[in-house]
Amino acid sequence: MLTETCRPLRVACARIVLICLTAVSLPGCGALYVAQAARGQWQVVHARQPIDKVIASDKTAPVLRDRLTEVRAARDFASRELGLPDNGSYRSYADLKRPYVVWNVVAAPEFSVAPQRWCFPIAGCVAYRGYFKEDSAKKFAGSLEKAGFDTYVGGVAAYSTLGKFKDPVLNTMLGYGDDELAAIIFHELSHQLIYVPNDSEFNEAFATAVEQAGLERWLKLRGRESDLGRLKARRERQAQVIALFIGARTRLAALYKTKLAPDAMRDRKREIFVSLDEQIADLEKRLGVRSSYRNTGKSLNNAYLASIATYYDCVPGFQRLLAREKGDLPKFYDSVRELTKKPREERHKLLCLTPPSVTETPNDDSDRAGSAGSGD
């Protein structure tokens, strides 16, 4: 299965939690949104237990004990072999008694492929808002839809507080296989290593590139070279699906620059998405797989494409940079840090597909998009 086709369904880094907790005394974060973020983060912190303690407990189910043993090994590998932070993150476990830890809301204007961004002190602008209750996320998305936005709501298995808290492994992460779970840990720790405010695309693609390189090295260390071929084949299939999303997004961007009347624009937009859906179905048939997009039951729209772009547009550039450093991760990290010193536009020109102009929204309660929903 193309289980990695849409990363937002698997893992997204709900920086909003960190944003609001660090900005709670500052203007800009709506009080209700801050409150739901603080409550949700407190629940996560309160539920965690050291992984060693959970493994040692007679009350722990054998299946969970085995999974956490694998997690512990992958966590140690991440710091020892990948140069990722050696701290308390992902050394504890928390069972939240629900399928996702956070539900992210992504939005884009009706006639734009650029994601809506919400801006906060300290952490800058991000292309999504995270809610600890699904109903709250849907309520906020509904208010955006009434304001004319395309929206996408996706459940999130894991998130990072960028090292501000000792992030635990969550029960929401255990629905994935051991390899995917290791990849999530590599991804999230990468955000603690390098994170640039105001550039979700850069941050997510960097973490994705590290997780992919890390997973390959993890499999080799475990003597599973035979699985590398299957991993490569899965990524090639994934790339084909992503290419279809990119193509549709490019056509839509061109369409939105025209001067068509709104009704004509909507008709043409609908045609492009119908064509994309047919292309995906055809690719699935040829490959004999089913993409994660079809497993969601979600409708294709600008926001969905924006969520894909946030994670994948810049990945090839990071892969080229790692190859240029001959796979040396410390040198790669140094090169990435040099890129963080450049203006956003210059970084994207070097690494990414040509990005569309973005729609930024300061998180001000007087702003229609930024205040359309609450966390209650």
How would you class 129 by CB atoms within 10 Å of its CB: exposed for 0-12, middle for 13-18, buried for 19 or more?
buried
Cα–Cα distance measured from residue 287 to residue 356, given in angstroms and rounded to the nearest whole number? 31
Tell me the per-residue pLDDT of 44-77, one tens digit each, with 9 for 90 and over.
Answer: 999 999 999 999 999 999 999 999 999 999 999 9
142-172 pLDDT per residue, tens: 999 999 999 999 999 988 888 888 999 999 9
What pLDDT is recorded for position 49? 96
Q: CA nearest 336: which of 354, 319, 312? A: 319
Q: Is 142 helix (H, G, I), strand (E, B) or coil?
A: helix
Q: Report whether 64 contacts 58 (CB < 8 A).
A: no
Q: In what order do the strands lie in the sheet with 92-94?
A: 49-50, 92-94, 169-170
Per residue in 268-305, pLDDT tens? 999 999 999 999 989 888 887 776 665 555 679 999 99
- Tokens 């001000």 belong to 364
DSSP 3-state of 130? strand
Report the alpha-carbon distance of residue 25 to residue 229 in Å, rounded. 51
- Rounded CA-CA distance 186/298 in Å is 28
Tokens of 175: 């629905």
Global pTM? 0.80
- Which of 125, 108, 118, 16 is closest to 356 using CA atoms? 108
Instruction: With CA atoms as reference, report the closest residue to 22 among 203, 189, 197.
Output: 197
> Using one digit for the tens of pLDDT, what is the confidence trace for 69-82?
999 999 999 999 99
Terminal alpha carbon distance of the chain: 36
